[in-house]
């Protein structure tokens, strides 16, 4: 934690946001490194020190990711109200979807996936029972690949049906 005063201890998010939007590049760098280190440790069920170091020291994305994540969080993810995504699910209900959730995800609570599925029962909900947040964890990745294959087949069939009667070969 890098909060320096009592007020900053009450709102760590605000403290990070101030630092990550500072005009001083050294302040930004330190805050981004700390944010990224925390996030990297929280993303994996069983953090791998080498993987976390690689994540933290990625010059092409980790600091930008910290700034982006903090900006979204500090601005309430740009939602007008807390349940806006759940309340708006009717707009996407017609789209085939799979909700993939790591059981031990510390970044996005599994209860949120369940709440989404209750509002959108047409979407398939699948849990990776031994994984956290990262899409690179074995169970989450396997479910991503399964869903990708499933939708590739589904949309290939739909394209074939749509193209019948046209000069395009199916």
pLDDT in the model for residue 93: 94
Q: Kindly report the backbone phi and psi dihedral angles of residue 124, in degrees, each rounded to the nearest multiple of 5, phi listed first.
A: -75, 135
Q: pTM, whole model, 2 decimals? A: 0.76
Q: Among candidates 152, 155, 151, 130, which has minimal Cα distance to 141? A: 130
Q: How far apart are CA 139 and CA 130, in angstroms?
A: 7
Q: Return the DSSP state at 169.
A: -
DSSP three-state, residue 157: helix
Q: What is the pLDDT of residue 170?
A: 44
- pLDDT tens, position by position, for the chain (170 residues)? 454 555 565 688 999 999 999 999 889 888 988 888 888 888 888 877 787 777 777 766 667 888 899 999 999 989 999 999 999 999 999 999 999 999 999 889 999 999 999 999 999 999 999 999 988 889 999 999 999 999 999 888 776 666 665 554 44
Residues 121 and 115: beta-carbon distance below 8 Å:
no
């Amino acid at each position: 934690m890098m909060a320096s005063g009592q007020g900053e201890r009450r709102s760590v998010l605000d403290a990070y946001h101030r630092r990550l939007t500072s005009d001083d590049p050294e302040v930004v760098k330190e805050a981004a490194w700390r944010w990224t280190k925390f996030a990297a440790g929280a993303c994996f069920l069983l953090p791998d020190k080498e993987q976390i170091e690689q994540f933290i020291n990625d010059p092409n994305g980790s600091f930008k990711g910290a700034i982006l994540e903090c900006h979204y969080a500090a601005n309430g993810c740009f939602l007008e109200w807390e349940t806006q995504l759940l309340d708006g699910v009717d707009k996407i209900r017609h789209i085939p979807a799979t909700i993939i959730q790591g059981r031990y995800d510390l970044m996005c609570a599994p209860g949120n996936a369940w709440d989404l599925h209750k509002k959108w029962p047409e979407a398939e909900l699948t849990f990776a029972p031994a994984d956290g947040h990262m899409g690179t964890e074995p169970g989450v990745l396997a479910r991503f690949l399964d869903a990708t294959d499933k939708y590739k087949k589904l949309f290939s069939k739909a394209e074939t049906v749509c193209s019948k009667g046209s000069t395009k070969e199916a």
